[in-house]
Each structure stands twice: as C-alpha cells, then as structure tokens.
Structure 1
Amino acid sequence: MSRIFDFFFSLVGLVVGFPVFVILFIIGLFDTGSPLFRQERVGRHGQPFILVKFRTMRVDTASVASHLASSASITRFGHFLRRTKLDELPQLWNVLKGEMSLVGPRPCLFNQEELIEERRARGVLDARPGITGLAQVNEIDMSTPVLLAETDARMLASLSVGDYFKYIFMTVAGRGSGDRVR
C-alpha cells in the first residue's frame, strides 16, 4: 500500500513543485555552480542507487556522512535549504522510480559499515530507504549507528498507514533537523 502512496504523492509533488524546483535550481546555480548533488547510497537489500538532492555544501566537499563533514562547507543558501528541508525535494524522483519511499530508514553511504551491519542484523535493509521516518522526526542521525538501526527496525516493525502520514506531516511541520554537521 505504501508503494501506491509513494508513487502518487511523489508524482504530484514533482508536478506541483516544478516551479519551486526551477527556482531552487537557478539559485543553486549561482550558489555553487552545480545545484544538484548525486551520491551513491545503500538501497533496498543493500543494492546501490544514486540519491539526488539539492546541493547544500561546496562542490569540493569530501564525500562523507553529514555528521563527519565540516559545517564550514555548507553554503548560505545550503543553510536555508537544510533548515526548510527543501534540499530533499529532488528525492521525490528517487521515490517515483521506486528506489526510495517517502517513509523509511534514511539511506546511508557504503563506507558507513557499522550502520550497514547493524541494519542488516535487524532486517532494516529489506525495506526501501526513505526521505523521513521515526529516527528523523526524533533527531536520531547516523552519528549513532546502533540507536539509528534499532529505531529504524522498530519503525518498520510497526509502520501503519497512520504512521506513514504522521511522519510526513511531522517532517513538513519542521520536526527533526536532519543529520548533524560538526
């Protein structure tokens, strides 16, 4: 059932949000010269996929987990995108393609081996990664891999249609601040 919701809401979001995407893309061109950020992430069953976001850090920033990146790497426009969560909008494309869900565990990098193992042990990798979820609305990020994997597993074990919409609305309302940056 969630795949039907994912497909419908991501399609509507991409169509209705198109003018916003264009404006953010143009501003991003002036901000970094390369407004879209693409990065290989761990997907369902541990398979790789390319996640797409609006770029919030300088182009020359090392490809590491956000909590390991320097806050000095975030651009002024990037701070705005992160605070408003608008940097996540291009992931609607990943959701439409079936690589992600609106609600699920946030996709990690392949070099986050401890988190991958914790998620594998708890069956979390059997689910599509998501844009938001229980961990995100409770500000649990990838800097605490065991807690994150436990929270992801708890969410997946009890995820209902009501929870699906609750996590989306909580995220849109501003709950959770995303991954910390040092």
Structure 2
Amino acid sequence: MGLMRMIPYIAEPLIARVVAEGVIVPEIYLRLLVAVAYHQIGDDASATLHIDKAIALALPDRLLGLLAEHRRNLDTLLDDRLMRVDPEAFACFKELQSTLQEGWTRLHNSLHSKNISTALTAREREVARLAAFGLSNTEIAQRLCISLPTVRKTLFNAMNKTGTNKRRELGAFV
C-alpha cells in the first residue's frame, strides 16, 4: 500500500504538464491511475474527483474504452459516477467493459497459468480483493459502506465460486 500512496504525488506533476499541453488521452489515463491509487488506499473522495474529471474529458469524444479499461480496478465507483452523468454512455461502457474483461481474463489465464474467475460479480470481486489484502470483515464493511452480514454472504459466495478455502487464496482470482 505504500507505493499506492506515492502514485498521486508522482502523477500530479505529469497531469499538470499534459493539461498545459492540452493532450486529453494521457490526462484521462493519468487521472484514472491516480483514482485507482486513491481507491486502493480507501480515499474514495479523492478518487471521485479524478474519475469525474476523466469522465468529463472522455465523454465528448466517446472515449469510453479508456474508462472501461480501468473499471476492474475501480470496482463500482466508476460505474456510479458515469451512470449519474450519462446513462446512455454507461450502457455502452458496460458492454465495452464486459468484452474487455472476458478477453483480459482469457489472456491473463493463458499467460500466467492462473484461473482468474469471470464468474464473480463486481461486488464479489471487490470483497474478495479486500479480503485477499488481509482486511477483516468489519474493515471491508466499513470501507464499502455495506453491512457485516452482506460481507460474510458475499465472501462466502466468492469462495464457493472460486473453490477456495482461505481468504488469501482469493488473490489468485481477482
């Protein structure tokens, strides 16, 4: 997690430079990178600021593929923000994300001889990832603003779908 805390400080000067140069695609990528870092350390308020700016830059030219690439690392945070701004773009984004997810999973599995599950829902993947990082059920519930029974049930479903017996084993599937 230490590296994740450094990413915003490294990327912010780069964002300032691409803004000054008026280059949109690198700015979108950098903002999403920073959003992922903030999200991973639990600062969703800061992540949301960068997600909103990336969405504002991507929508005029329908650069939804750039957003879809980052959906896996931003869980439902990106979905929620895009849905509020443009439901039509959100529907297209979901189709793109699904196609990317299936292809990425197949490629990753073949390259790394790992079985990353496509059967997990976004919420199951989110809970499984946090459990694999070592967070307790209580910490996961607080981080995701969901109830403790929901965490338990979601974790149970994820472990059943992946055939794992231990929380740390979930890391191979997320």
Greater relative contact order (Cα 8 A, min sep 6): structure 1 or 2?
A: 1
> Which structure shows the higher helix fraction?
2
What's the TM-score, normalizing by structure 1?
0.30
Give the TM-score, by structure 2 length.
Answer: 0.30
Structure number with larger C-alpha Rg: 2
